[in-house]
Amino acid sequence: QVQLVESGGGLVQPGGSLRLSCAASGARLDDYVIGWFRQAPGKEREGISCISSGDGAIYYADSVKGRFTVSRDNAKNTGYLQMNNLKPEDTAVYYCAIESWPSGGCIVLPSWYKNWGQGTQVTVSS
């Protein structure tokens, strides 16, 4: 059974940084796409980034491009989302998700992913 555990969320001032981690168990991440999503109160879940399993493909939503960096360490079976220059509008619960797709490329369509973490709260406020 695949389990994902996110960590690294918290309260940060505008302009600050956080690094989210997504540790997987029950599966080897080598053949999995990792997607990152967030959901603010009263809003739909938003796909913000993904990283492919093998061809290096990476996607960022316009809302985070230039501020967030997605990465993965297959040896540690963990994905990361480095978030810099955080803004109040980044406040949300952040989720990672994985799906087996060894063919390359990635998408941020929530319905495509079957395995989800529990979410971690990120609050950006002064």
Q: Which residues of the chain have pLDDT under 50?
A: none
**pLDDT value, residue 57:** 94
Q: What CA–CA distance (Å, rounded) separates 26 from 1?
A: 5
**pLDDT value, residue 104:** 85
**pLDDT value, residue 13:** 98
pLDDT tens-place string over residues 99-110? 998 888 999 999
**pLDDT value, residue 55:** 83
pLDDT tens-place string over residues 49-73? 999 998 889 999 999 999 999 999 9
Q: Under a CB-based contact definition with an 8 Å cutoff, are residues 59 and 107 in contact?
A: yes
**pLDDT value, residue 56:** 84
Instruction: Please work out, in degrees rounded to the nearest 5, the angle formed at the alpha carbon of residue 70 by the alpha carbons of 57 and 51.
Output: 30
Q: Shortest CA distance to 34 belongs to which of 19, 17, 47, 18?
A: 47
**pLDDT value, residue 14:** 98
List CB contacts of 125: < 8 A, sequence separation 6 or more.
Answer: 11, 13, 14, 88, 91
